[in-house]
């Protein structure tokens, strides 16, 4: 596990974007596993800037996202589909047919999960998976406490996740209570994993996840077992180490 120390959020974003762009340059037809949440926004903005300068070409890149809220249509500005189009896909020359997320509007959970697993298998697996870190140690929407699910699954979001995401919705009642998420097994199969973390409020979970015991109570702790993980974190997030 390699930890890259960044000065602050913008330094973290630039360093993470460097790793993502190196992947695209070295393997133009790579499969990127992408994440939502506020943490990767700066890295996406940096990629868009480099693309606009002519330094990056996404035309052969395929993406699979970690998760999607169940029941939010694509045009809802809180859906992860919308987020990805707003922050990245709509701003670079990626082939939209090759950008995948779980289908949040598929009401049949079993079907939605199976379909997404098939997509991930069909694209041939993930070269580089980007991850944010939830305050309770969740990755994607794999919440603490349950056995690590290997594949895509439908999860009931925890109180703390619903509360954390409330800031993006008009009221807490509007926050979806369920989501489809790529499973820990699939995440662990990615060739490389890049975790981005920023802020003092993540310092405690950084310590627990990467320096504490490996346990389903802290889903991100499983990453300690992966052979190629890079964590790019700012000083505030590393302040308890």
Binding ligand GLP (rule: CB under 6 A), the pick from 35, 130, 149, 206 is 35
38 scored as a contact of ligand GLP (CB under 6 A) = yes
Instruction: Please state, in angstroms and rounded to a whole number, the distance separating the CA atoms of residues 91 and 231.
Output: 26
DSSP-assigned beta bridge partners for residue 34: 65
Binding ligand GLP (rule: CB under 6 A), the pick from 64, 66, 94, 205 is 66
221 scored as a contact of ligand GLP (CB under 6 A) = no
Binding ligand GLP (rule: CB under 6 A), the pick from 13, 21, 23, 39 is 39
Positions annotated as catalytic residues are 67, 136, 138, 143
Binding ligand GLP (rule: CB under 6 A), the pick from 17, 21, 24, 37 is 37
CA distances from 31 to 34, 108, 125 (A): 9, 27, 7
Taking Cα atoms as reference points, which of 32, 37, 33 lies closest to residue 13?
Answer: 37
Stretch of 29-37, 91-99, 204-212, 218-226 contacting ligand GLP, by CB under 6 A: 29-37
Task: Kindly state the helix (H) or strand (E) to which residue 234 belongs, with its residue range.
Answer: strand 229-234
42 scored as a contact of ligand GLP (CB under 6 A) = no
172 scored as a contact of ligand GLP (CB under 6 A) = no
| Contact (Cβ atoms closer than 8 angstroms) between residue 131 and residue 186 | no
Binding ligand GLP (rule: CB under 6 A), the pick from 89, 141, 180, 210 is 141
Taking Cα atoms as reference points, which of 41, 37, 93 lies closest to residue 63?
Answer: 93
161 scored as a contact of ligand GLP (CB under 6 A) = yes
Which one, 66 or 94, has the nearer CB to ligand GLP? 66
CB crowding 34-43: b at 16 or more within 10 Å, else e:
bbbbebbbbb
- Binding residues for ligand GLP, how many (CB under 6 A)? 14
């Amino acid at each position: 596990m390699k930890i890259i120390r960044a000065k602050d959020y913008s330094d973290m974003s630039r360093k993470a974007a460097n790793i993502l762009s190196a992947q695209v340059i070295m393997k133009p037809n790579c499969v990127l596993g992408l994440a939502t949440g506020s943490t990767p926004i700066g890295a996406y903005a940096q990629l868009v800037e480099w693309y606009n300068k002519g330094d990056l070409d996404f035309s052969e890149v395929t993406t699979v996202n970690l998760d999607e809220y169940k029941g939010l249509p694509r045009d809802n500005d809180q859906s992860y589909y919308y987020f990805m189009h707003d922050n990245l896909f709509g701003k670079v020359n990626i082939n939209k047919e090759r950008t995948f997320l779980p289908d949040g509007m598929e009401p049949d959970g079993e079907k939605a999960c199976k379909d997404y697993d098939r997509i991930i298998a069909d694209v041939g697996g993930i070269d580089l998976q980007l991850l944010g870190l939830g305050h309770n140690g969740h990755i994607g929407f794999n919440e603490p406490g349950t056995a690590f699910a290997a594949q895509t699954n439908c999860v009931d979001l925890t109180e703390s996740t619903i509360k954390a995401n409330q800031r993006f919705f008009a009221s807490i009642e509007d926050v979806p209570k369920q989501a489809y998420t790529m499973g820990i097994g699939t995440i662990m199969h990615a060739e490389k994993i890049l975790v981005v973390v920023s802020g003092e409020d993540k310092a405690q979970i950084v310590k627990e996840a990467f320096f504490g015991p490996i346990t389903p109570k802290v889903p991100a702790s499983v990453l300690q077992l992966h052979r190629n993980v890079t964590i790019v974190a700012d000083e505030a997030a590393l302040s308890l180490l």
